[in-house]
Amino acid sequence: MDTGARRTMPVVGAAYSPFLFWDGRKDSLWAQALGPLEDPAEHGGTRLAFALQLKTRYRPDYEAIFGAMPDLSGLPEEASPLGTPLQRAAWRSMTEKEQEEVSKVFANMGKALAAYQRTLQPGESRLDQYIEGVVTHNVQAYGLLNATEKNGLRIFLGKGQCITCHNGPLLTDHHFHNTGIAPRIPGQPDLGRRVGIAKVRGDEFNCLGRFSDARPEQCEELNFLARDDHAMTSAFKTPGLRNVALRAPYMHAGQITSLADVVRHYSQAPRTDGHSEIKPATLTESEMQDLVAFLGTLSAIVENEPQRE
Ligand code: HEC
């Protein structure tokens, strides 16, 4: 397999994102799941090959949920409207009805994957327990964060202004911002959301598309999408911060290696070629350390697994 241009986003809690991927080029969990399957840098498969595999291996399970499998006999082994010239030519050789049937099986595969991904919920963190304690006036819980971490929390909410974008249960506003992160390859800017908007609008698997189960009026996010917003140039989705200390490197292409350097970036807000929404937070060394310590309280508490005999 090949190397992609972006870092993998966490799947835990992804069920709550109105837009998926760093540039939001997909608008549902099921449509997202289809992307990597046909991406040459990831699974590199074709939708026809996936449909044939499903028919061979999972037909009863498939039919119990989605109804009868179409008759896929007599079709080539590999075909997709994306993919290599040969795979695209094979796709064009199929009738419109066959194409439609294969795309539908493929879309249903995404819906099954999405159903599983919905079960991946974030685990409780020390911050969750602390907040619960404060809200219920449980004095014993006040000690769950030490003085350094509490000061980090104060900076997160106040001087650092992190809460402006990293808010809500997952610590993300689910929006897109340019925070002045330099492109992975100097001189080759990644336009991020600006391209993502065009892609999601043109996606045959989007909320308004023929494979969607949503009614058009349920597709508000897509219906009200600003189409030509310059602020979206090189803007990326605000990542949620749960478990952030466990998943270096950071940013859309892993440009920053440690949380200490992420926090330094926000403190200095270096000037970039383009527009950045970040103003320097101008934190002292000890404030930066406190903020990093606070970010460590967002990790899920892992219970000790019972010893196996
Ligand atoms: C204007 C909105 C905004 C503000 C304010 C903001 N962030 Fe972010 N944050 C983002 C976006 C967008 C990204 C992803 C940027 C990218 O990859 O280009 C990000 C990425 C991060 C990451 C990397 C997470 C990962 O998985 O890669 C961390 C950690 C982080 N921010 C912490 C903070 C802290 C701490 C503050 C306050 C000092 C802060 N952020 C303020 C929007 C914001």
pLDDT of res. 306: 61
pLDDT of res. 40: 86
Question: What is the length of the chain?
Answer: 309
pLDDT of res. 5: 83
278 C-alpha to center of ligand 1: Å?
10
41 C-alpha to center of ligand 1: Å?
26
Are 18 and 196 in contact by the 8 Å Cβ rule? The answer is: no
Are 62 and 53 in contact by the 8 Å Cβ rule? The answer is: no
Q: In the chain, which residues have pLDDT < 50?
A: none
Are 82 and 45 in contact by the 8 Å Cβ rule? The answer is: no
pLDDT of res. 42: 86
Contacting residues for 292 by C-beta, under 8 A, at least 6 apart: 152, 259, 260, 263
pLDDT, tens digit, for every residue of 93-145? 999 999 999 999 999 999 999 999 999 999 999 999 999 999 999 999 999 99
Contacting residues for 67 by C-beta, under 8 A, at least 6 apart: none
Mutation test residue for ligand 1: of 7, 166, 233, 282, the one with most atoms within 8 Å of CB? 166
254 C-alpha to center of ligand 1: Å?
12
pLDDT of res. 60: 97
Instruction: Please state the atom number of ligand 1 nearest to the C-alpha of residue 156.
Output: 37
CA distance 157 to 131: 14
Mutation test residue for ligand 1: of 251, 273, 275, the one with most atoms within 8 Å of CB? 251
238 C-alpha to center of ligand 1: Å?
6
